Amino acid sequence: MQKIEFNDLSAQYRNLKPEIDAGIAKVLEECHFISGPQVEELEQELCKYVGRKYCVSVSNGTDALQMPLMAWGVGPGDAVFVPAFTFMATAEVASLVGATPVFCDVKEDTFNLDPASLRKQIERVKAEGKLNPKAVIPVDLFGLTADYDEILPICREFGLLLLEDAAQGFGGVNNGRKACSFGDASATSFFPAKALGCYGDGGAIFTDDKELYDLLVSIRVHGKGDFKYDNVRVGLNARLDTIQAAILLPKLHAFDQENETRGKAAALYNSLLKDKFDVPVTPEKLESSFGYYTLKAKSPEERDRLMKGLEGKGIPTMVYYPKPLHLQEVYKDLGYKEGDFPVSESLSKRVFSLPMHGYITPEIVTYVAEALNGLAE
């Protein structure tokens, strides 16, 4: 058995090497390192892929989440509702603009924002009257889009903006619509570990709102007006490097094929593990891009034992995420305590992810699954 990688970026590079090398070489030859033609080409292709009118490529996934909040004027006194079980950036961007993240629990089966918890938290904030409910940031976790059939009506009912965090969701499908096509705006990340990743940091924002698009383009370059030395608002230095765009283009062209490989690998994992493990759930009419393949152990102790056992067999694993956001030290002043969001807290102690990428083979999946089944009690 060959060495098993958790996310084999070297295999991807070997398969796409001629196109990636040529793209990088062209940028070096033309010396358009900032805002080169490949950036606009990538934005156009991304729009076509996800089904949105406008795309603004940016320097990283966190900026992609923060910039719509800036454009909407979200700030001090506003509440931004986010799931407790996700990466820090989803809540961090609310804090960065001066707003207050309000945490919600997630569903046990999909790991995604629980609409019932969202409604409860909105109603609590409104009843307290200390914060103005302003926006919701659902997360498309592990490749599976959030429950927008339930979440969108809640946002409309309470007049809240919806920003889809599709940093892990790119390539997922919900009722025929691709991830990044939901809400007033959507954001994704091109961090190397993502299903569509570059060779550094990168991200993108999508919207169908021309006014929002124009604001985002301004914010991306220091709040520029008609030209870059005409500054009409406070912005960021948030451009995507041309080299990263050139790297992403061939990866985007190969994405559907890689996505198909991940889907087949997930199906094989499921068939081999379902008798002994709680395998990932994909609700009807949804398709996951399976950026990560995540299982739930019965307890923290079992997770530790299984991960150590797999490590001994040369199989890498990861935990996303070991501590829910409402219990992070940075947010202790918000007054949350253990027990507030029991599903998020339980998942953080039990989940673990197995090797998954666009070039994983059935042989590797079978080896990993058989090793894991052998460790099960």
* pLDDT, tens only, 122-153: 999 999 999 999 999 999 999 999 999 999 99
Which of 206, 226, 253 marks a domain boundary?
253
Share of the chain above pLDDT 70, in %: 100
- Of 253, 271, 297, the position where a domain reaches its end is 253
Same domain, 220 and 88: yes
The number of residues making up the chain comes to 377
Q: Residue 35: its pLDDT value, please? A: 94
Domains identified in the chain, total number = 2
Is the pLDDT at 283 greater than 90, yes or no? yes
Give the confidence band of 244 by pLDDT, cuts at 50, 70, 90. very high
Based on the fold, state whether residues 200 and 94 are members of the same structural domain.
yes
Q: What is the CATH number of the domain that holds 368?
A: 3.90.1150.10
Q: How many CA atoms lie within 13 A of 130 on its CB side?
A: 8
CATH number for the domain harbouring residue 231: 3.40.640.10
pTM score: 0.97
Domain boundary among 212, 234, 253: 253
Identify the band that residue 228 occupies on the pLDDT scale cut at 50, 70 and 90.
confident
Q: Give domain status of residue 1, yes or no.
A: no
The residue range of the domain holding 273 is: 255-375
Are 28 and 130 in a shared domain? yes
pLDDT in tens, 43-72: 999 999 999 999 999 999 999 999 999 999
- What's the Rg (C-alpha) of the chain? 21
Residues 306 and 329 in one domain: yes
Residue 328 placed within a domain: yes
> Could you tell me if 220 and 67 are in contact, meaning their C-beta atoms sit under 8 angstroms apart?
yes
Per-residue pLDDT at 120: 98
Summary mean pLDDT of the chain: 97
The per-residue pLDDT for range 184-224, each reduced to its tens digit, is 999 999 999 999 999 999 999 999 999 999 999 999 999 99
- Is the pLDDT reported for residue 1 higher than 70? no
Element (H, E) at 354: strand 351-354
Residue 285 included in any domain: yes
Other CB atoms within a 10 A radius of the CB of residue 337 amount to 9
Contact indicator for 357, 15 with CB cutoff of 8 Å: no
Q: Is the pLDDT of residue 2 over 90?
A: no
